[in-house]
Amino acid sequence: MYLTPEVKTILGYYESDNPGTKANLARILMQGKLGGTGKLVILPVDQGFEHGPARSFAPNPAAYDPHYHFQLALDAGLSAYAAPLGMIEAGASTFAGCIPTILKMNSSNSLSTIKDQAVTASINDALRLGCSAIGFTIYPGSEYAFDQMEELRELAEEAKSAGLAVVLWSYPRGPMLDKAGETAFDICAYAAHMAALCGAHIIKVKPPTAHIGLDAAKKSYEKIDGSTMAKRVQHVVQACFQGKRIVVFSGGEAKDLDGLYEEIRGLRDGGANGSIIGRNTFQRPREEALAMLQTIIDIYLNKA
């Protein structure tokens, strides 16, 4: 597989990793229509756990079929497909080798009242299914955040030793944070930095708002420009080792296309490595989703 100078530069930032892990990162970075650019668009489909089947898939019933998501990611020219164990198992043979997969290792659900996630897969599962990476979620600010970080440490150590990359969802939530605080400028940067410190190769956070969530951080942010999405994203990327870790941003709840594209342009202009976008993709009819993803790819290619 030919590697572009952009991808070689990114791989060079991961100084401790073995050839297997770097090869799996390279597979993700070289896949699809953004392959070789250093930019990524990933399809995550873990919302069945998080929100339930009807809330996730009823808007587009074809999405109840796990094969639908593999094929959508392939046809759209995406970088990777991320999902829990059962979803990847359901298409593992048909789509073996077609697109890099990320096995989501832990999940929450809407029936639970605690800010925690259960580990639902193993490193052996990821290897058996030919995955390129594992995915894991931590909730900085939760009463269970330290337990989650310790679970991650064990899984990440095993994954890296087996040549797998680590993708970390870092979503602040907990009793000290209100809804505005979960996406606050300072807290998003803090969550992204924690993910880098935990050893993640690819960091997933939510797009930051201009709100400052921590009183203790307000003085520090007086001289940090957070006036636009691009400026805020630039700071989040800076918080991830001065851009030496791959940072992608979630798509969040379904929104109108103009709002989504405006947000993606802000991510691009701030230096984000890309987007990991689920409900905004698979809840739309297939042809609409493909057209939307093409526009997002074009934005990251500076064509739109």
Query: pLDDT tens across 55-77, in order?
Result: 999 999 999 999 999 999 999 99
Give the model's pLDDT for residue 254: 61
How does residue 214 score in pLDDT terms, banded at 50, 70 and 90?
very high
Specify the pTM: 0.97
Closest CA to 298 of 261, 253, 243, 272: 261
Interior CA angle at 160 toward 154 and 165, to 5°? Answer: 110
Q: What is the DSSP string of 77-115?
A: T-SEEEE-HHHHHTTTTTTTTTS-EEEE-EE--TT--SS
Selected catalytic residue, list 39, 104, 160, 204: 204
**Does residue 253 carry a pLDDT above 70?**
no
Closest CA to 172 of 208, 147, 199, 216: 208
**Does residue 44 carry a pLDDT above 90?**
yes
Give the model's pLDDT for residue 169: 98
| CB 44, CB 82: distance < 8 Å | yes
Give the model's pLDDT for residue 115: 84
Closest CA to 204 of 166, 163, 257: 166
Average pLDDT over the chain, rounded to an integer: 96
Q: How far is CA 16 from CA 20, 163, 249, in A?
A: 12, 12, 25
How many Å separate Cα 304 from the centre of its chain? 23
Give the model's pLDDT for residue 252: 66
pLDDT digits 0-9 by tens, 46-60 = 998 988 999 999 999
**Does residue 174 carry a pLDDT above 80?**
yes
**Tokens 């639970």, residue?**
112
Residues in a beta bridge with 168: 136, 203
Give the model's pLDDT for residue 42: 98
Give the model's pLDDT for residue 251: 84
115 labelled catalytic: no
Burial of 220 by CB count in 10 Å (0-12 exposed, 13-18 middle, 19+ buried)?
exposed
Distance in angstroms between the alpha carbons of the first and the last residue of the chain = 29
- The stretch 218-238 carries a mean pLDDT of 97
pLDDT digits 0-9 by tens, 290-303 = 999 999 999 999 99
What does the domain layout of the chain look like in residue ranges? 5-300
Q: How far is CA 24 from CA 90, 155, 162, 203, 274, in A?
A: 22, 17, 11, 16, 18
Cα(278)–Cα(82) distance, integer angstroms:
10
Contacts of 33 (CB under 8 A, 6+ apart): 76, 77, 78, 297, 301
**Tokens 């420009």, residue?**
225
For helices 185-197 and 229-239, give the axis angle rounded to 10 degrees.
30
pLDDT digits 0-9 by tens, 200-209 = 999 999 999 9
Cα(88)–Cα(92) distance, integer angstroms:
6
Closest CA to 72 of 92, 93, 43, 29: 43
Give the model's pLDDT for residue 211: 97
**What topology is assigned to 5-300 in CATH?**
TIM Barrel (3.20.20)
